[in-house]
Structure formats: structure tokens, C-alpha cells
A = this chain, B = another copy of it.
Amino acid sequence: MIPSIEWVNQNNRSIVKMIDQTVLPHELKFLELSDYRDVAKSIKVMNIRGAPAIGVAAAMGMALAALEYKNLSKDDFLKKMKDAAKTIRMTRPTASNLFWALNRILEVVDKSIGTVNEICEEVVEEAILMAQEDIIVNKNIGKHGAELIKDGETILTHCNAGSLATVQYGTALAPIRTAIEQGKKISVIADETRPRLQGARLTAFELNYDNIPVKVISDTSSGLLMKLGKINKIIVGTDRVTSDAVFNKIGTYLVALAAKDNNIPFYVAAPTSTLSLEETIDDVEIEQREDSEVSCVLGKIRIVPEGVECLNYAFDITTFELVTGIITEDGVFTAEKLLEKYRK
């Protein structure tokens, strides 16, 4: 398991080092970024993706911005930090963690009574802390989620909410990792997850890399496999949980419907940073991405006739009645109990 993102100090400068997830699974390549604008771009073009990883990338981007502006006056520094946050915020509209992370960094900036240099240090520390916390949160999700998994089970997951979607260890894959660490024999079926194929490319890569048995299916196959009794449980991640629904990668809703129809438990791994329980479905903008992700597989082969348009919504809405339980770092909750515990 390789961290998807790291803060690295080398040769007297700080860089953000991340796996370039666009070239996986065939190439394991790292990006080394020292400009927050490049971090923003890496989020936008999905060199890094997955709600928790995006959050940490945003925080580390803010830390790079702080270092860039550390010689400015405090007023100018504060202004520039707000601009940087705006640039990073505009990259992706759906993941809660992006806004959560930026707000957390801006709060450090706003609350600090120190000099620019001191604020700068605090911001870098906060970003590093957020990366460390992410791993702890994921291990706790793993611990609670593993209790749901029995020896010998096959778990279906959609998209990638694994180590690559977080700093390390994953959210949806955390219970599987923990169950295996506990000695249970578990295998995984990964939906390929069109259009960007995060399941086929990333989930299969990271599980195979860690010797966890995984098979890939087309997104069209999950229903039949459930009907044939080949899937025991489903665990997916999430980009945002509102008071009425789980927002996760497009295709999640169909998986949840099939789970319900076949009485298969459907769990959502949701670090509390993804909870946005004061919102409802209507408050969420669902990101629409370019046609070309659908019409041209991985930018390499066009599968749609020239001149034919595509629709490309990136996220799906899965309402609570389809969700068996939500796994946070604090435990496993029904939707009702989740609202009781976390809604302000």
C-alpha cells in the first residue's frame, strides 16, 4: 500500500508528492508539485481523486500557497490565501471534503494571531495533521466495518474508495483490509465503473498490489451476480452524505437497487468529513463532465460515432431507504441513527 499523497521536504523545499492515478494500472508514476495551482489542476483532471484524498490535496495545496506568500504583508497574505482557496474550490463541485478541508485551513488562517511566518507554519502543520488523521479515520472505519464481514464472503464495491481515494488504507476497502488482517478469507468483485474506470484500473490495481483476491466485472453485471448468489455484501464510499441521500460515483444507485431486490446488505463507508447533514438532495450540484470521457475510453479509443453526443453525470443519488448502514470512524449506523448522532 503506497500513500496516494504525501507532504515531502527535500532539498530545502516542500513538495506535494502524489500518485498520478490517470496512468494506473499500467504505470506507477508520481507527480511532485510545488505550486498550489498545479495541485488544483491535479484535482480537476483527476490525477488525484476520491473525496478524502481530494480533501488532503486541497489542504496541502493551501500549504503550498502559504509558503509561496510567506513574504507578503499579513493583509496581502490573507487575501492571497482566500484567492488560493477559491482556485482550489472551483476544481470539483460534488465532494464535501474539498470544501471541508479548505474551510478547516481557512479557519486556521483566520483564527491565528501569529505573524505570517507563524501562520504559514500552522497551515503546513494542519495539512500534515489532516493527512495523518485521514489514515486514523480509515483504520477506524476498517475496524467497525470488519465486524460486518464474515469469513469467506465476497464483497462487491463500485468505483474506488480505497487507499488511492484516501491518503492510505481507504474507506470502502478499509473493512475488507481489516477483515483480511483479522485472518478472514475475503474476495472482492470490482465494478469497472465507467466512464473513468476507477474500479477496473484503481481498485483492481491496489487490491492486486496487496494480494487481495479481486475480479473485475462490467457495470452491467452486478445485478445478475447478486441474483446468482455470488455476492454477500456491498460496500461503497461516498463523496457526500446529505440528510436524505448518499452521493457517490455514478452507478451506485443501480447497485443499491439490485442489492435491495436481492436482500443483500448495502453499506456506505463515510468518514465524518463527508457528512453534510444540514443539506438535502436539492442542495447538491451533480458534476457533469465532458462528453469525451464517455465517447472516448481513457482518451484513447472512440467508441461512439462521430457527431453523436453523450451525457456524463459523475455522481449518483442513493436515497437512504436503499442503505443498510453507514460506517463512520465512530461505528456503524442506520441512516436514522446517523442523523441522530451527527446532525447539528
Q: Interface on A for B, CB 8 Å cutoff? A: 25-26, 189, 192-195, 197, 200-201, 204-205, 208, 214-225, 227, 249-251, 253-254, 257-258, 261, 286, 294-295, 297-298, 300-305, 307-313, 315-317
CB of A223 to closest CB in B, whole Å: 4
Given the known interface contacts A221-B311, A254-B258, A258-B254, the answer about A298 and B303 at a Cβ–Cβ threshold of 8 Å is: yes
As for how many copies of this chain the complex holds, the number is: 2
B195 near A218: Cβ-Cβ < 8 Å: yes
A192 near B303: Cβ-Cβ < 8 Å: yes
Q: Across the interface, which residues of B come within 8 angstroms of A219, CB to CB? A: 194, 218-220, 251
Q: Across the interface, which residues of B come within 8 angstroms of A214, CB to CB? A: 308
Q: Across the interface, which residues of B come within 8 angstroms of A313, CB to CB? A: 221, 224-225
A303 to B218, CA, bound (A): 11
Between A and B, 28 residue pairs with Cβ closer than 8 Å are: A25-B305, A26-B302, A192-B194, A192-B303, A201-B304, A201-B305, A205-B305, A208-B307, A216-B294, A216-B311, A217-B312, A218-B312, A220-B249, A220-B250, A220-B251, A221-B250, A221-B311, A221-B313, A223-B253, A224-B313, A224-B315, A225-B311, A225-B313, A227-B253, A254-B254, A257-B261, A297-B303, A298-B301
A305 touches which one: B208, B298, B303 (CB < 8 A)? B208
CB of A324 to closest CB in B, whole Å: 17
Among A218, A258, A294, find the residue whose CB has the most chain B CB atoms closer than 10 A.
A218
- A224-B313, A254-B254, A297-B301 given; 9 more Cβ-contact pairs under 8 Å: A26-B305, A189-B311, A194-B194, A200-B295, A208-B308, A216-B304, A220-B251, A224-B250, A257-B261
Residue of B nearest to A298 (CB): B301
CB of A65 to closest CB in B, whole Å: 35
A309 near B216: Cβ-Cβ < 8 Å: yes
A192 to B291, CA, bound (A): 13
